[in-house]
Amino acid sequence: MYKHLGSTDISIYPLGIGGIPIQRVSFEDAREVIAHAKGLGINFIDSAQGYSDSEAKIGFAIDSHKNYWKLASKSPARDKKGMEEAVTNSLKKFNRDYMDLYQLHLISSMEELDTVLGPNGAMETLHRYKEQGFIKHIGITGHKPEVLIKALDIYPFATVQVPFNPLETQSIELLEYAKSKGVGTIIMKPLAGGALTSPTACIKYILNQPFVDTVIPGMESIEQVQQNFEASQNSSLCVDEQEAIDKDIRELKNNFCRRCEYCQPCPQGIKIHSVFTLHGYYSRYGLKDWSIPRYQGLPVLADICTECGICETKCPYELPIRDMLKVAHKDFSG
pLDDT in tens, 88-141: 999 999 999 999 999 999 999 999 999 999 999 999 999 999 999 999 999 999
If phi > 0 it is left, if psi is from -120 to 50 it is alpha, else beta; for residue 60 that is alpha
Q: How far is CA 69 from the centre of its chain?
A: 19
Neighbours of 17 (CB within 10 A): 26
In the chain, DSSP finds a helix count (H) and a strand count (E) of 14, 10
Cα→Cα distances 284→72, 215, 329, Å? 24, 19, 16
pLDDT of residue 214: 98
pLDDT in tens, 174-227: 999 999 999 999 999 999 988 899 999 999 999 999 999 999 999 999 999 999
- Please indicate whether residue 229 or residue 51 has the higher confidence score (pLDDT): 229
Q: Which CATH architecture has domain 3-237?
A: Alpha-Beta Barrel (3.20)
Cα–Cα distance, 168 to 189 (Å, whole number): 9
Which residues pair with residue 213 across a beta bridge?
A: none
Element (H, E) at 129: helix 122-131
Domain boundaries, the chain: 3-237, 272-333
pLDDT of residue 285: 82
Write out the DSSP string of 76-119: ---BHHHHHHHHHHHHHHHTSS-EEEEEE----SHHHHHHHHST
pLDDT at 235 over 90: no
Cα–Cα distance, 160 to 150 (Å, whole number): 12
Q: pTM of the predicted model, to two decimals?
A: 0.91
Q: What is the mean pLDDT of the chain?
A: 95
pLDDT at 262 over 90: no
